DNA sequence: CTGAAAGCGCTTACAG
DNA sequence: CTGAAAGCGCTTACAG
């Protein structure tokens, strides 16, 4: 705020060269003689010179900034994904601008405008959805768009999708094979694309199998909601003996309520399957069987796409596969299912 | 990358005014007649104009960017703090540039250079420490510096400290009051200022009280380390009946190993106290008595300081108090201690 | 209130 | 290989 920082001009003066030479010295692949390069580098080091990315972004039309737009970023799954994304971005020489939203359309819109303001090279959206016109504005400005676990498509954007429905279907098969005869779907009322997919797959397979099933959907995706869900599902006389919970975080809540409040033994009296494979699912206190989202792969492939020029016919959809992580929250059934 | 985005010139042309007028229209407090303002706003909206913060940052010498430098950002405590900081920053009209480090000096240095490159208004450092000269470079450039839970001071930077040692001392008193007669300190080998403070307080109080105590320090601060610590401390015949663990995350590991591997009942056979009050500490499966770090307060006060001009004699240190959260991991002792 | 002009720090053809 | 010059999109005195 007070003093201005050292500029290329300062370095040029000290090294006895032109400003252009200094610029070239810091531009990969530009031609500078070894001698002047050495002089410039020395002067730069002496002065503590750091190229001003604001100015260079302005004329090169590439800032190195990538916006990460998400809600509930302190949540285990989200923070893991954010961390992977940030890391992958850094590997690629970019830097993450993280913008918190409250999942309302208005806040997503505000976030997108921020991204435009800073002329980020791309925006990766993990929650909510910008409307079509705003997305077009971004694309028109040359900004690339990645939508993670979103439903709708946006012309020119990359959609990253996980096989949610398939997981829901497999969960039913696993519970059935474990000997469960009355199963339940537990989910939040958040109504996001991912949740919908998992719910849909479950319902489809459960209905088709003819097995006795119920469902419960409440609140937002949180541990607390899991507890509510657990009480609603397990405090009744005809309680289910198997539950597929659309999120590990909620599954932890269900498990705790079952175990500590209702005295239900897991997996002997209740089989439970989650989704995400957050760190806690692997903790000894939970040992939750779940579907793992390959967070690092999602991050890596998203960033790869971002970096791979904007070829007109580049891929528009990335299908990511989850993998089943068998732990100890499902009863040993008659048949081992994978 | 392809096309350039719409600029103030475009808006000016459409509205039939000068570029300066457009600029003023988006500068709070600048004088524009209601009539021209309306025309400009209309044109801007039509064109989808968004002020270029790169350019404005360049001349105003204020970018609105704040760097958040931290390692292990997917960890419960860190992600919570990061989330609070991001949120507070947004409330203040700033935006967070988050930079991941691996806690090595080199990576912190790289992060700081990034921050300088983007001319962030400030940098908030949660892990590691930049060397003096680099910190001075930042300060000289008018960048403000906040050090959270760091030891050393940097002239002109704000240090935010939590009463770590006091917590360590109180933990000893609580364990003693709970009837524990052989207590242990469990910590990671990470050797960060916060950990050192908590360890120091514990040792001091334990030694002074004359109670029988041991300690174990291993690995990095993680759940897994907690399990290792638990095995080391609890699988021995003369195992402690009370443990103060410097981090909730590790305490969860200790608790799980005690309960599920060694069959030790908590709190009947073992009292456990953690630190941080991460979400999991409040989960029914853990119910961990711990010291809460007021994350939102830390974030809010740090940002307040950032915003409050750089008055020469502004405060340089912020002492934050933790509060004891009594849950159910400590045995009911003779006396209730708070 | 409003516009013309200068300037922030950079990069990039264009000559030499 | 190197420098002079133009220009990126903005803001801010300076006149009017």
Beta bridge partners of B272: B243
Same domain, B75 and B218: no
Overall residue count recorded for chain B in this entry:
338
Tell me whether residue B337 is in a domain.
Answer: no
Same domain, B228 and B211: yes
Point out the residue nearest to C3 (C-alpha to C1'). B18
Of the two residues B25 and B136, the one the predictor is more confident about is B25
Same domain, A13 and A82: no
Within B106-181, strands assigned E span: 122-125, 144-148, 158-162
Q: In this structure, are residues B269 and B242 in contact, taking their beta carbons and an 8 Å threshold? A: no
Q: What is the pLDDT of residue A319?
A: 94
Same domain, A171 and A249: yes
Chain B residues in contact with A80 by the CB 8 A cut-off are: 74
Chain B residues in contact with A58 by the CB 8 A cut-off are: 52, 54-55, 58
Q: What is the pLDDT of residue A93?
A: 93
Same domain, B204 and B124: no
Host H or E run for residue B65: strand B65-71
pLDDT digits 0-9 by tens, A23-43: 999 988 887 888 899 999 999
Tell me whether residue B326 is in a domain.
Answer: no
Same domain, A116 and A224: no
* pLDDT reading at B1 higher than 50: no
Same domain, B71 and B141: yes
- B34-62: string of b/e by CB count within 10 Å (b at 16+)? eebbebbbebbeebbbbbbbbbbbbeebb
**Across residues A296-312, what is the average pLDDT?**
86
CATH of the domain at B140: 3.40.50.2300
Lowest mean pLDDT among A1-5, A68-72, B61-65: A1-5
pLDDT digits 0-9 by tens, A183-211: 999 999 999 999 999 999 999 999 999 99
Q: What is the pLDDT of residue A312?
A: 57
Separation between the CA of B22 and the C1’ of D12 (whole angstroms): 13
Domain residues for the domain of B193 are 164-293
Separation between the CA of A2 and the C1’ of D3 (whole angstroms): 32
Bond from prior residue into B267 cis (ω within 30 degrees of 0): yes
Same domain, B132 and B227: no
Provide the 3-class DSSP secondary structure of residue B100: strand
Q: What is the pLDDT of residue A226?
A: 98
Q: For residue A223, what are its two tokens?
A: 């541990």
Tell me whether residue A330 is in a domain.
Answer: no
Footprint of strand C on the protein (CB under 7 A): A 4-5, 7-9, 19-20, 22-24, 26-27, 30, 49, 51-52, 55-56, 58-60; B 17-21, 24, 31-33, 35-37, 55, 58-59
Same domain, A67 and A132: yes
Q: Tell me whether A99 touches chain B (CB under 8 Å).
A: yes
* pLDDT reading at B148 higher than 50: yes
Provide the 3-class DSSP secondary structure of residue A269: coil
Predicted confidence band at A3 (pLDDT cuts at 50, 70, 90)?
A: low
Separation between the CA of A10 and the C1’ of D13 (whole angstroms): 25
Q: In this structure, are residues B139 and B152 in contact, taking their beta carbons and an 8 Å threshold? A: no
Residues sharing a CB contact under 8 Å with residue B220, sequence separation 6 or more, in sequence order: B188, B189, B190
Q: Which nucleotide is nearest to B35 (CA to C1')?
A: C1
Lowest mean pLDDT among A163-167, A211-215, A323-327, B36-40: B36-40
How many structural domains is chain A composed of? 3
Average pLDDT taken over every residue of chain B: 92
* Integer Rg of chain A from CA: 25
Same domain, B95 and B113: yes
Query: Nearest to residue A271, comparing CAs of A178, A337, A204, A195?
Result: A178
Q: What is the pLDDT of residue B2?
A: 43
Lowest mean pLDDT among A33-37, A194-198, A267-271, B200-204: A33-37
Query: Nearest to residue A51, comparing CAs of A80, A110, A93, A86?
Result: A93
Of the two residues A338 and A55, the one the predictor is more confident about is A55
Residues sharing a CB contact under 8 Å with residue B42, sequence separation 6 or more, in sequence order: B15
Q: Tell me whether B312 touches chain A (CB under 8 Å).
A: no
Residue B310: which of A1, A78, A118 has the nearest Cβ? Answer: A1
Residue B74: which of A50, A83, A284 has the nearest Cβ? Answer: A83
Q: Tell me whether B140 touches chain A (CB under 8 Å).
A: yes
* pLDDT reading at B297 higher than 70: yes
Tell me whether residue B197 is in a domain.
Answer: yes
Average pLDDT taken over every residue of chain A: 92
Q: What is the pLDDT of residue B104?
A: 86
Tell me whether residue B140 is in a domain.
Answer: yes
Between the two ends of chain A, the Cα-to-Cα distance in Å is 60
Q: Nearest residue of A to residue B113 by CA position? A: A50
**Across residues A305-332, what is the average pLDDT?**
86
Q: What is the pLDDT of residue A336?
A: 47
Chain A residues in contact with B279 by the CB 8 A cut-off are: 74, 223
Same domain, A103 and A177: no
Same domain, B256 and B171: yes
The DSSP-derived string for A160-206 is EEE-HHHHHHHHHHHHHHTT-SEEEEEEES---HHHHHHHHHHHHHH
Chain B, window 35-54: residues with a beta carbon less than 8 angstroms from a chain A beta carbon: 48, 50-54
pLDDT digits 0-9 by tens, B303-316: 999 998 755 556 78
Please tell me the distance from the alpha carbon of residue A91 to that of residue A76, in angstroms, as a whole number. Answer: 23
* Integer Rg of chain B from CA: 25
């Amino acid at each position: 705020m007070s003093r201005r920082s050292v500029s290329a001009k300062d370095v040029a003066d000290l090294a006895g060269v032109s400003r252009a030479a200094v610029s070239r010295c810091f531009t990969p692949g530009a031609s500078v003689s070894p001698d002047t390069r050495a002089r410039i580098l020395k002067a730069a080091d002496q002065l503590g010179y750091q190229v001003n990315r604001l100015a260079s972004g302005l004329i090169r039309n590439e800032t190195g900034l990538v916006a990460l737009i998400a809600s509930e970023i302190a949540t285990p799954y989200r923070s893991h994904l954010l961390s992977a994304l940030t890391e992958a971005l850094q590997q690629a020489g970019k830097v993450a601008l993280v913008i918190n939203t409250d999942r309302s359309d208005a806040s997503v819109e505000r976030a997108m405008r921020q991204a435009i303001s800073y002329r980020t090279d791309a925006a990766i959206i993990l929650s909510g959805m910008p409307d079509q016109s705003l997305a077009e504005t971004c694309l028109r400005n040359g900004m690339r768009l990645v939508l993670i676990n979103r439903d709708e498509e946006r012309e020119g954007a990359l959609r990253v999708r996980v096989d949610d429905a398939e997981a829901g279907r497999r969960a039913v098969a696993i519970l059935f094979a474990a000997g469960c005869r009355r199963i339940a779907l537990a989910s939040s009322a958040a109504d996001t694309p991912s949740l919908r997919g998992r719910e849909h797959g479950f319902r489809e397979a459960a209905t088709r199998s003819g097995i006795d099933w119920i469902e419960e959907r409440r609140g937002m995706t949180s541990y607390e909601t899991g507890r509510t869900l657990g009480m609603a599902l397990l405090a009744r006389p005809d309680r289910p003996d198997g539950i597929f919970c659309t999120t590990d975080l909620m599954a932890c809540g269900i498990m705790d309520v079952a175990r500590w409040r209702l005295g239900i033994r897991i997996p002997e009296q209740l089989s439970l399957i989650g989704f995400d494979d957050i760190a806690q699912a692997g903790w000894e206190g939970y040992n939750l069987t779940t579907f793992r989202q390959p967070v690092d792969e999602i991050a890596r492939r998203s960033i790869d796409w971002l970096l791979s020029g904007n070829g007109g016919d580049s891929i528009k959809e990335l299908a990511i596969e989850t993998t089943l992580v068998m732990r100890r929250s499902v009863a040993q059934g008659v048949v081992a299912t994978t």
